[in-house]
Amino acid sequence: MPTSAAVIVYKDANELARQAAGYILSSIEQTLVGHERFSLVLSGGSTPKAIYTLLGQPPLVDRVPWSRVHFFWGDERCVPPDHADSNYCMAYETLLSYLVLPLQNIHRIQGEIPPEESAASYEQTITEFFGEHIRPPRFDLVLLGMGNDGHTASLFPDSPALDETQRWVVAVDHTQLPAPLVARVTMTLPLLNAARRIALIVSGAAKAGQVRRALSEDGDATVLPVQRVYPEDGEMVWLLDDAAANMIHP
């Protein structure tokens, strides 16, 4: 892990959610001082769910002009948008449904169509949003989590998607995934690493070992997918609760 990435540890999952929500709002406020819009890439999972719930309710929901925020997703399962496993569905139910914003500000991955078609369509959506001349596109803030195997977004260990250098969004075949075997669509490392800010948010003791590995500088030959995430010209922060960080304490 590059030494310039910040690591902040909070006492528990509730405090982590509160502080992560504050980080997101501060990022929006700072960017909108000099820009007309803010591009936010959402993550799925239980930890972001708690964050989105806080953002969608008073007093936090009233802090920023949500009509100037555009929402994207780092990855999606290939399921309909109302499916319980859909990252879009979770974000809509916990956050988006509470916001006053134009529908065109919500740029979801179409999980209900064939994966390759969905990936190509989403890459085109991103291109149209930023403009053909912006290569690669630079999201203002990307939210990511980490799985127990060290994956992030839908970039899993040994997946060919990890080595993609040309495309910004790719389909991940179900044969490359852990159960349940549902194909996915994911942003790739060139796109993620072009972001202005990346926040990697992790909670729970089950992930403590992989957090230690990911933050280790001991030359472990096995590189986790999450270790390959780092903005080329931006900032990155790890936001952890104490349980996830308990193996990195001195």
Question: Is 179 contained in some domain?
Answer: yes
pLDDT in tens, 54-68: 999 999 999 999 999
- pLDDT under 50 in the chain at which residues? 1-3
Q: What are 122-156's pLDDT values in tens digits?
A: 999 999 999 988 789 999 999 999 999 999 999 99
Whole-number Å distance between alpha carbons of 58 and 195: 29
Give the number of domains in the chain.
Answer: 1
Q: Which domain holds residue 222?
A: 6-245
HEC letters along 91-104: HHHHCHHHCCCCHH
The pLDDT of residue 181 = 63
Q: What's the pLDDT at 3?
A: 43
**1 occurs within a structural domain:** no
Say what the pLDDT of residue 180 is.
58
Is 250 within a domain?
no
pLDDT score recorded for residue 135: 83
Beta carbons of 217 and 1 less than 8 angstroms apart: yes
Structural domain includes residue 161: yes
What is the CATH number for 68? 3.40.50.1360
Strand order from edge to edge, sheet including 6-10: 6-10, 235-241, 197-202, 141-144, 38-42, 69-73
Q: What integer pLDDT is reported at residue 134 of this predicted model?
A: 79
